[in-house]
């Protein structure tokens, strides 16, 4: 460096008078071209980088977070529909809560690992009882559970299948629905009888127009070993065939008797929402669902200013089974979320809009909302209500019929 003085055009052009060169040579280093050549590019980038840092930092800071948002971990089955809803998420966010859902069968949710889970929201009584028992066994602190709404077990199908059942004398439309009824009452005992006599859809149709389908007439379900819906249909079918069992012996006999009905579908349905797709017919002809799933589908259509989906219809078994989902907090944060159900009317309103029957004494809220949206109101004629067997007996029956591995 010392042997090579800075090369400068001006310096070289000028003569070497005594004073002036000093001035030239001692020009501040930061003004020298070479320095500037070397310095400006990295400096500019630094500024850009700092600005980027600042902006991104500012962006984070301008997010509307006056109080910290707490994220809750929840495990549940079909009730995930509720927390997946954008409006529900927005309401919760206003209360500084965010819910991260792990969606699985309710029975699975109740029986698998609950580490760092704030609440479980099983879809029906059986899974709730399994969970409650487990929590007691593990000596966990108790928080107040909540039953915000109920839904019914229904058989969802397509119009031509319902029509075939109607012509076969098994189903009857709810009164006052016009030409394209959405809701039917189903003689569930006769329906199960069709399976016992190995009747296929083509045989039931007996040459009339309708679905060309050689499969036996039966209802498909989710996995009874894992989900409340599958287990509920087992309980319903058992009740129809013999009434609720009260002893181990009755469970064994009953399991043998109804296993073919429940197992003839082979693999259970792992994606029940497929029913609402055009491709649903490629997977199911009748599937066990909750009423709210169907109503939510029709309400969504109406809110999008579309016609009702008249190809999809519900069969209400005349032996009814209502399921009460229960919100079970496992932590204080979970408890806090549960309390919102009671204190925030918007949440209950939204539940109604999602097809749930809200349990807050305001009976008829769902009917009112359906009417408002132009969705017919179901009016099932339920003759009997299913009595669920004792939890331990139902567990035995599920395991025997479903040949469950592991959970349940």
Asked if residue 263 binds another protein (CB under 8 A), the reply is: yes
Residues 53-92 that bind another protein (CB under 8 A): 53, 56-57, 59-60
> What single-letter DSSP state applies at residue 327?
B
DSSP 212-228: ---SBS--B-S-TTT-H
Please pick, from the candidates 81, 108, 118, 125, the single residue that binds another protein as defined by CB under 8 A.
Answer: 108
d(CA 188, CA 319) in angstroms, rounded, equals 7
Q: How many residues bind another protein (CB under 8 A)?
A: 57
Nearer to another protein, 56 or 362 (CB): 56
Taking CB under 8 A as the criterion, the residue among 14, 20, 25, 45 binding another protein is: 45
Q: How far apart are CA 327 and CA 147, in angstroms?
A: 6
Strands (E) across 244-370 are located at 286-290, 312-317, 319-320, 322-323, 328-329, 357-358
Binding pattern for the stretch 225-244 against another protein, x by CB under 8 A and - elsewhere: -x------------------
CB nearer to another protein: pick between 389 and 408? 408
Within 13 Å, how many C-alpha atoms sit on residue 116's CB side? 5
Phi, psi of 257 (to 5 degrees): -70, -40
Nearer residue to another protein within complex by CB, 52 or 342:
52
Closest CA to 81 of 224, 389, 295, 287: 295
Burial of 46 (0-12, 13-18, 19+ CB in 10 A): exposed
Q: How far apart are CA 261 and CA 397, in angstroms?
A: 14
**If binding is defined by CB under 8 A, does position 341 make contact with another protein?**
no
**Does 407 help bind another protein (rule: CB under 8 A)?**
yes
CB 309 → another protein: shortest distance, Å? Answer: 9
Say whether residue 310 binds another protein (CB under 8 A). no
- Applying CB under 8 A, which of residues 133, 213, 322, 391 lies at the interface with another protein? 213
- By C-alpha distance, which of 407, 401, 387 is closest to 262? 401
Mapping DSSP to helix (H, G, I), strand (E, B) and coil, where does residue 102 land? Answer: strand
Q: Which stretch binds another protein (CB under 8 A): 96-104, 142-150, 245-253, 388-396?
A: 96-104
- Is 38 a binding residue for another protein by CB under 8 A? The answer is yes
Q: Which is nearer to another protein, 52 or 90 (CB)?
A: 52
Residue span 280-299 as binding mask against another protein, x where in contact by CB under 8 A, dash where not? -xxxxx--------------
Residue 380 or 408 having the CB closest to another protein: 408
Among 270, 310, 362, 387, binds another protein (CB under 8 A): 270
Residue 9 interacting with another protein (CB under 8 A): no
Question: Does 46 sit near another protein (CB under 8 A)?
Answer: yes
Q: In Å, what is the CA distance from 115 to each residue of 71, 111, 146, 156?
A: 15, 12, 21, 36
For another protein, which residue of 13, 37, 68, 169 counts as binding (CB under 8 A)?
37
**What's CA 35's distance to the chain center, in Å?**
63
| Terminal C-alpha separation, the chain | 81
Helix, strand, coil share of the chain (percent; to 5)? 50, 15, 35
Site membership for another protein, residue 345 (CB under 8 A): no
Burial class of residue 263 (count of CB atoms within 10 Å of its CB; 0-12, 13-18, 19+) = middle
173 dihedral zone (left: phi>0; alpha: psi -120 to 50; beta) = beta
Residue 104 sits in the site that holds another protein (CB under 8 A): yes
Judged by CB under 8 A, does residue 117 bind another protein?
Answer: no
Stretch that binds another protein, among 121-129, 233-241, 258-266, 341-349 (CB under 8 A): 258-266
Q: Which residues bind another protein (CB under 8 A)?
A: 4, 34, 37-39, 41-42, 45-46, 48-50, 52-53, 56-57, 59-60, 102-104, 108, 112-113, 198, 200, 211-216, 218, 226, 263-268, 270-271, 273-274, 276-279, 281-285, 304, 405-407
């Amino acid at each position: 460096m010392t042997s090579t003085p800075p090369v400068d055009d001006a310096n070289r052009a000028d003569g070497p008078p005594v004073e002036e060169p000093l001035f030239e040579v001692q020009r501040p280093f930061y003004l020298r071209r070479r320095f500037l050549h070397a310095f400006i590019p990295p400096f500019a980038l630094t500024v850009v980088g700092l600005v980027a840092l600042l902006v991104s930092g500012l962006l984070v800071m301008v997010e509307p977070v006056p109080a910290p948002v707490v994220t809750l971990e929840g495990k549940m089955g079909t009730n995930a529909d509720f927390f997946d809803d954008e409006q529900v998420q927005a309401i919760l966010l206003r209360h500084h809560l965010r819910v991260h859902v792990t969606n699985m069968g309710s029975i699975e949710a109740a029986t698998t690992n609950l580490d760092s889970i704030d609440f479980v929201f099983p879809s029906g009584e059986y899974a709730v009882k399994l969970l409650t028992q487990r929590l007691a066994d593990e000596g966990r602190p108790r928080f107040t559970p909540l039953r915000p709404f109920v839904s019914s077990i229904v058989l969802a199908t397509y119009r031509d299948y319902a029509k075939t059942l109607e012509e076969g004398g098994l189903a009857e439309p709810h009164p006052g629905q016009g030409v394209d009824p959405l809701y039917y009452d189903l003689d569930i005992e006769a329906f199960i009888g069709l399976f016992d006599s190995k009747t296929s859809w083509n045989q039931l149709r007996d040459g009339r127009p309708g679905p060309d389908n050689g499969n036996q007439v039966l209802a498909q379900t989710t996995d009874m070993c894992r989900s409340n819906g599958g287990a509920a249909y087992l309980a319903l079918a058992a009740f129809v065939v013999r009434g609720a069992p009260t002893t181990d012996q009755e469970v064994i006999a009953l399991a043998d008797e109804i296993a073919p009905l429940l197992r003839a579908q082979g693999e259970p349905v792992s994606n029940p929402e497929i029913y609402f797709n055009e491709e649903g017919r490629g997977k199911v002809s009748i599937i066990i669902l909750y009423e709210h799933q169907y109503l939510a589908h029709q309400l969504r259509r109406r809110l999008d200013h579309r016609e009702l989906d008249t190809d999809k219809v519900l069969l209400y078994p005349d032996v009814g089974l209502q399921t009460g989902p229960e919100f079970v907090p496992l932590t204080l944060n979970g408890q806090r979320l549960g309390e919102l159900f009671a204190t925030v009317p918007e949440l209950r309103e939204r539940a109604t809009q999602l097809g749930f029957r809200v349990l807050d004494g305001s009976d008829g809220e769902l009917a009112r909302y359906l009417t408002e949206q132009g969705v017919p109101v179901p009016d099932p004629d339920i003759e009997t209500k299913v009595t669920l067997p004792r939890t331990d007996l139902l567990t035995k029956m599920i395991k025997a019929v479903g040949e469950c591995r592991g959970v349940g």
